[in-house]
Amino acid sequence: MPDEFMKISESLSTTQPFNVSDSPTLPTLQPKKNTVLISHGRPPWYSEDGHRISDAFVIGVAGGSGSGKTHVAREIIRKLGSVPTVTILSQDSFYKYLEPEEQALAHANKHDFDHPSALDLDLFSKCLADLKHCKQSNIPVYSFAQHQRLPEKKYLYGATIIIAEGIMALVDPALRDLYDLKVFVQCDSDLMLARRLRRDVKERGRDVNGILDQYLRYVKPSYDNFVRPTSKYADIIVPGSNNSVAIDLICTHIRQKFDERTNKFRPKIAIPHLHFTSLSGTSTLESVEDLDLTILPQTPQIQGILTILRDKTCPRQDFIFFSDRLSTILVEHAFQHLPYIPWTVTTPVGVDSTGKKLDAQYLCGVVIQRSGGALEKGFKRVINTVPLGSMLIQSDSKSAEPLLLQANLPLYVRLRHLAEDTYVFVLDAQIGTAAAAFMSIRVLLDHGIREDHIVFVTFLVARGGGVSILRQAFPLMKIVCAAVDETMQEGWLEGYKGEGNPEGVGRKVWLMKPGMGQIGDRYYL
């Protein structure tokens, strides 16, 4: 039990007078219980060697049906305010599949949904463990109206804080081991019944007699036998109503734990040559050969395209045209890193000819928004039949830490059993500090994509930037680029108007030199 927590005395307000008017705004639709809320973006959860250093913070919330578990979970999120991604994982999704005869009994209120065996607790702990360890999870979807598990699954990924709630949330020792904080919502039985009556009629399509039958036969005995006894495992007992003091306390604890886990990642990778000094004390850069990049052959044609793209007077339509040309060549070139097998075909003149056939089982692309969009057309020209996802990664304006704001990934990546056989082309305009590249690779590895199945395709790499740290962390990943620029320097970006710079004199950023400027802005604006 965390020492800063005391069990809040039940006398605080658990025994409220019977009063159903404490929830005046019940929703009319069944609320989505498993919710992913992004309010701030997810900061790095790994160190500069590429390994995960912090698990998600998991709170287990148990209590009787109608005690207010979901309400507590939502209030925690609301009161936390500006936090990274939070997920509510509801045990309700884990009711077992019912055979037709069991389902018929359920519709007659004669199925016991309140025995621990009605829930797939093993699957619940497996999904929760995956999410805690920063992996994706595809969780079941349950219909209360049909009393049945539905065929679809819901994909969850990327939470920094997870709230797992359910009547049996504290029953299973394996589950209890996963929680960083255990909460029990204690509520008067009359109030729980009143809330349940109203909710089940409105949201779960039930009638009053059926609800009362089920309550007396199963719900109340189960609460007494299985649910209430688990309150002894809780670090904190929260009253079922008037519980804002207890919720504030929980939020303070979470914030404190979260701050302790915050990793200052950006300074470690921003300018690596400042961190690597030779014996003589001078800064050193790794040689281009050591960086193990696949660089386009510097033919006059490639140099010509790069010269046009580097020219600050290049009109936008030319910038788009030549970016599209260069990305097409880059993606073609990147295909050399995919597996091929010998393949024989018969030509129109009846002769057999042995060549090669692509042997990648699944292939997809992921664009790092927004500048990676400049490579999208080239990718689609070369392979227009494969799925293309995206990730939105931006720097926090205060800490400069990269933040994962959105991951819209193809099915081949989302489903772990397919991910293992999937090759991914990651598209981004340049690798400068490498913070976005680092985060995108970590996301793919979290999903079970093999490191040697990742091909990072980019216009430019800054040798003096974060690429050497990226390389050391992920040596098996391939990087395909058109050119390598020598320097990363802090400098002013011309003409930028925005925060702290209303006159448009410039914005201090890490600039790749000679570089191409802000490729996303030049391609899209």
The binding site for ligand LLZGTKA7 (CB under 6 A) comprises 65-66, 92, 95, 106, 113-114, 144, 147, 167, 219
Give me the sign of the Cα torsion angle 77, 82, 83, 84: positive
**Which residues lie below 8 Å from residue 195, measured CB to CB, with a gap of 6+?**
20, 23, 66, 68
Q: Report what 370 binds from ligand LLZGTKA7, ligand ADP, none; CB cut-off 5-8 Å by kind.
A: none
Q: Does 71 bind ligand ADP (CB under 6 A)?
A: yes
Q: Does 66 bind ligand ADP (CB under 6 A)?
A: yes
Three-state DSSP at 452 gives helix
State in angstroms the smallest separation of the CB of 10 from ligand ADP. 15
Cβ closer to ligand ADP: 245 or 274?
Answer: 245
Q: Residue 356 pairs with which residues in a beta bridge?
A: 342
Q: Does 26 bind ligand ADP (CB under 6 A)?
A: yes
- How far apart, in Å, are the Cα atoms of 80 and each of 74, 307, 508, 513? 10, 50, 32, 41
**Which residue in 14, 70, 85, 230 binds ligand ADP (CB under 6 A)?**
70
Cβ closer to ligand ADP: 154 or 268?
Answer: 154
Binding span for ligand ADP by CB under 6 A among 63-71, 115-123, 281-289, 401-409: 63-71
**Is residue 525 packed enough to be buried (19+ CB in 10 Å), middle (13-18) or exposed (0-12)?**
exposed
DSSP state of 495: T
Letters for 157-196 (x = contact with ligand ADP by CB under 6 A, - = none) are --------------------------------------x-
**Which residue in 13, 65, 85, 440 binds ligand ADP (CB under 6 A)?**
65
Letters for 196-235 (x = contact with ligand ADP by CB under 6 A, - = none) are ---x------------------------------------
Cβ closer to ligand ADP: 46 or 184?
Answer: 184
Cβ closer to ligand ADP: 185 or 480?
Answer: 185
Cβ closer to ligand LLZGTKA7: 201 or 509?
Answer: 201
Letters for 301-340 (x = contact with ligand ADP by CB under 6 A, - = none) are ----------------------------------------
Q: Does 245 bind ligand ADP (CB under 6 A)?
A: no
Q: Taking the CA of residue 281 as centre, how many other CA atoms within 13 Å lie in the half-sphere pointing to its CB?
A: 0
Q: Report what 50 binds from ligand ADP, ligand LLZGTKA7, none; CB cut-off 5-8 Å by kind.
A: none
499 vs 507: CA distance, rounded Å: 9
Binding span for ligand ADP by CB under 6 A among 4-12, 60-68, 252-260, 274-282: 60-68
38 vs 426: CA distance, rounded Å: 23
Q: E-strand spans in 269-361?
A: 294-295, 340-346, 352-358
**Which residue in 42, 46, 60, 67 binds ligand ADP (CB under 6 A)?**
67
Cα angle at 86 between 171 and 520, to 5 degrees? 150
Cβ closer to ligand ADP: 247 or 444?
Answer: 247
**Is residue 264 packed enough to be buried (19+ CB in 10 Å), middle (13-18) or exposed (0-12)?**
exposed
Q: Contact, 359 vs 412, CB < 8 A? A: no
**Amino acid sitting at position 46:** Y
Binding residues for ligand ADP, rule CB under 6 A, total 15
Q: Contact, 61 vs 72, CB < 8 A? A: yes
**Which residues lie below 8 Å from residue 283, measured CB to CB, with a gap of 6+?**
273, 274, 276, 277
State the residues that interact with ligand ADP by CB under 6 A: 22-23, 26, 63, 65-71, 195, 199, 241, 243
